Structure 1
Amino acid sequence: MADLLLIVESAWASIRAHALRSLLTVLGIVIGVASVIAVVSVFQGMAASITDQFAGLGANNLTVRSETSFDDQLQGRRSRISLEDYQRLVDGLPGVGEVSPSFNVMGDHGGTVHAGRADTFTRVIASSPAYQHSRQVYPRLGRFITAADNDSRRRVCVIGEKLRSKLELPADPVGQYIRIGSEWCKVVGLMEERGEVFGFSQDDFVLMPFATGLALVKDASQVDLSIDVQVADTAEMDAVKDRIDALLRQSRLRGGSQGGDFRVETAEQLGDSLKSIIHLVSMVFAGIVGVSLLVGGIGIMNIMLVSVTERTREIGICKALGATRQAILLQFLSEAALLSAIGGVIGVVLGYAGGLLASLVIPGLPPATVPWWTVVLSVLFSAAVGVVFGTIPAAKAAGLDPIDALRYE
């Protein structure tokens, strides 16, 4: 143990003696580790934000939505959850809580709404009064849409804070009118502000009664619904999910469909699906920028080879005084590993700072998060790179003949 500490101390002394060269040597490692940490921290922050967003939807919610395969998309076909599917669920799911349908009135990408001389592009959603409970969104001013609004197809709506600002409406917009398409709707509520996710505002929308939305579309048979089902007893989640699956498959097979063009998910599963995509993308990016670690490793090998050449006489003296081949090998390996580990630590600090700066500069980007395992893995991997690429110079130093080394000029 004492010999190992002595070797590490000697390696540290050598690094300090050539501080500038050592800094330039580890620059590749620093850049590589910093890039990996910055990328992972940003994407981990996104994953944590998704977890928080979907945690608010509740553990007793099921979401039914259509799913179009890639082949069908290429052929211009699109799956839909229809009004008939919704009615089948309402009739075939006794004992559950609310069954809340919703759809985009002006298409998936939204449409233009007007207020006075101002106009803007936004999402227009039609849903039931249960939407506020299933999605955990509540009015800050005024009220939410009611069953009476839906039954009489009233031209009323609630809006988000971002839309209120874009339409230049008063701080309290209740009672104001906005035009959606060719219809004027009275604002009856302003929703609580929820901020942005990945640069997309959660407060830029109009929400109207479900029946009103159906009256505004050209062909109600072409709407694609998303249905939220609240299950009274969480222990029955799997049973209700299987029942929904069976009802929709039966309905769609009768209509000539394959029956698998929809998905039934819990809020947790929805979040996991998005997180898995984010983790995959983050690993791809980390792998790409991680190539710079290999470049840094090659730089360490080159500098260590130069160091062996410069210290040939020193190695010869050490061997003449009794230093073993193993001791020489460990000294140069420890120097390479220590250099890489120092670069790894500096890279972690710079990488986290870069991720934090990105989250502050880019609007809507969640705060950067660096898991402890990423830090440990980065430092260990960088040290391993030093050992791997330091093996050849260390072996060259250990294999020098003492007599030839002492004669080296």
Structure 2
Amino acid sequence: MIFLILESFRSALHSIRANALRSFLTSLGIIIGVASIITVVSLVQGLQASIDQQFESLGSNSLIIQPDFNQQEYEGRDVYLSEDDLLAIRKRVVGLDSVTPQVFLSAAQGLTYRGNRSSVDVRGVEPDLFVLDDTFADRGRELIAADLIGRSRVMVIGDKVRRDLKLPNDPVGEFVQFGLDWFKIVGLLEIKGNFLGQDLDNVAYIPFTTANSITPTHANPFMIFLAKADPDELDWVRQQIRQVLRKEHKIQPGKPDDFKIESSEQIQQSIAQVTGIITVVFGGIVGISLLVGGIGIMNIMLVSVTERTREIGICKALGATRADIMLQFLIEAVVLCLLGGLIGLAAGFGLGKVIANMIPNFTPAVVPLWAVFLALGFSTGVGVLFGLLPAAKAARLDPIESLRYE
């Protein structure tokens, strides 16, 4: 049996080589289908890998607290978090390792330097944020506690802000204007690149207390808190934070929260679910070309059966059984699909790399092992499915009539 299978493979490869151009055109649908699937999967999985890497810096013990922006107004009032909420959480929540605020000031004012302008969102933060967010200065320093106490007019910027404002390579000590206020640059952050279409180097940080002195917190609804706690107590800490904020916001029993408390893992899982759906949908769409390719292979194999009728008759006259003939043609169809799958796999991987490199700041394409096995498995399945009919037709041929066939 093993000899028969090996001989069938040899015969299939010989037949494909003898009709190389026809074999290539026949398997073109398989090649395009597999290449398309691998391209889509490599780009989406590359993006997912980048997302996972970004969330690793937050860790599994992080909570992100923010207003529920789906409710722009709640019981006739604006939805926002305040400095009072921050103080209440710090005072009343047990088991909380740290909590740090981040307030976004309007980008309408922008930053200016010698006639150059950057529309970056200026964020008021506390020094703990740089540790929580794994963000450190490449030149100068990050914000420190003394900046908060003194409500200092100091700023730490990302590299894109430096480029937009045409600041020197080492901008430490330069002054930039934000609204009516002047800020001294004390640090330039390390380059972090792009994440989900957002340039992570397009940032500017000032002390949280300074941001509040410029614009009251109630006028800046876009404030979030980053909190850290023991992973085993994360749910308990979340419940405490919810109770504290409901009390601070005077939310009546039975009424929904006007804020959201999400763990970094929850957000990561939500994004992973979205990318998974995208992979399945696009994979299903381009997978149609695999079915089209399978139909093309079935047609060519039926033609091949007709062309090799006398050969089939000779094989049967020499003792070949119907199962032997069927196995030979079935293996030929599978080999043809499998070769198309291998070519498509290489083409899809290369195409994914090229597209990822062409998009500015896009993450490198990644082809997971499961996608390779899925593509090759699907190709083999198509060969079996659409090779059965031609193989069965060849096996049913009458040996006498086959030998008479011209």
Q: Identify whether the pair has TM-score above 0.5, normalized to the shorter chain.
A: yes
Alpha-carbon distance in 1 for matches of 2:69, 2:299: 54
> Is 1:204 matched with 2:205?
no
Give the Å deviation of 1:403: 2.9
Q: What one-letter code is carried by the residue in structure 2 that aligns with 1:112?
A: G
Alpha-carbon distance in 2 for matches of 1:255, 1:213: 31
Give the Å deviation of 1:137: 1.0
Distance 1:83 1:40, change over 3 A: same
Alpha-carbon distance in 2 for matches of 1:385, 1:111: 60
Q: What one-letter code is carried by the residue in structure 1 that aligns with 2:199?
A: S
**Residues 383-398 of structure 1 mapped to structure 2, 5 A cutoff:** 383-398=380-395
Aligned to 2:126: 128
Distance 1:288 1:249, change over 3 A: farther
- Alpha-carbon deviations, 1:268-315, whole Å to 9, x = none? 333333222222212222222222111111111111111112112222
Contact 1:340 1:382 in 2 (8 A): yes
Secondary structure of residue in 2 paired with 1:97: strand
Q: What one-letter code is carried by the residue in structure 2 that aligns with 1:206?
A: A
Distance 1:64 1:329, change over 3 A: same
Aligned to 2:178: 180
Give the Å deviation of 1:379: 0.6
Pick from 157, 180, 183: which aligns with 2:155? Answer: 157
Secondary structure of residue in 2 paired with 1:86: helix
Aligned to 2:308: 311
Aligned to 2:57: 56
Aligned CA-pair RMSD: 2.5
TM-score (ref. length: structure 2) = 0.91
Give the Å deviation of 1:207: 0.8
Alpha-carbon distance in 2 for matches of 1:85, 1:282: 40
Contact 1:25 1:299 in 2 (8 A): yes
> Is 1:292 matched with 2:289?
yes
Distance 1:168 1:18, change over 3 A: same
Aligned to 1:338: 335
Q: What one-letter code is carried by the residue in structure 2 that aligns with 1:170?
A: P
Aligned to 2:103: 103
- Alpha-carbon deviations, 1:332-353, whole Å to 9, x = none? 1111111001111111111111
Give the Å deviation of 1:142: 2.2
Aligned to 1:115: 113
Alpha-carbon distance in 2 for matches of 1:323, 1:32: 36
Give the Å deviation of 1:65: 2.2
Alpha-carbon distance in 2 for matches of 1:41, 1:340: 22
Q: Sequence identity, in percent?
A: 43
TM-score (ref. length: structure 1) = 0.90
Alpha-carbon distance in 2 for matches of 1:8, 1:105: 69
Contact 2:8 2:327 in 1 (8 A): yes
Alpha-carbon distance in 2 for matches of 1:305, 1:165: 64
Aligned to 2:29: 28
**Residues 351-366 of structure 1 mapped to structure 2, 5 A cutoff:** 351-366=348-363
Distance 1:299 1:80, change over 3 A: farther
Alpha-carbon distance in 2 for matches of 1:310, 1:54: 60
Secondary structure of residue in 1 paired with 2:120: strand
Give the Å deviation of 1:24: 1.0
Alpha-carbon distance in 1 for matches of 2:50, 2:225: 24
Alpha-carbon distance in 1 for matches of 2:329, 2:72: 60
Q: Which deviates more from structure 2 when the two are superposed, residues 366-375 or residues 335-344?
A: 366-375
> Is 1:278 matched with 2:251?
no
Alpha-carbon distance in 1 for matches of 2:250, 2:343: 60
Gaps of 5+ in 2: none
**Residues 85-96 of structure 1 mapped to structure 2, 5 A cutoff:** 85-96=85-96
Distance 1:328 1:253, change over 3 A: farther
Pick from 255, 266, 270: which aligns with 1:269? Answer: 266
Give the Å deviation of 1:162: 1.4
Give the Å deviation of 1:216: 3.2
Alpha-carbon distance in 1 for matches of 2:22, 2:82: 69
Gaps of 5+ in 1: none
Pick from 105, 130, 140: which aligns with 1:142? Answer: 140
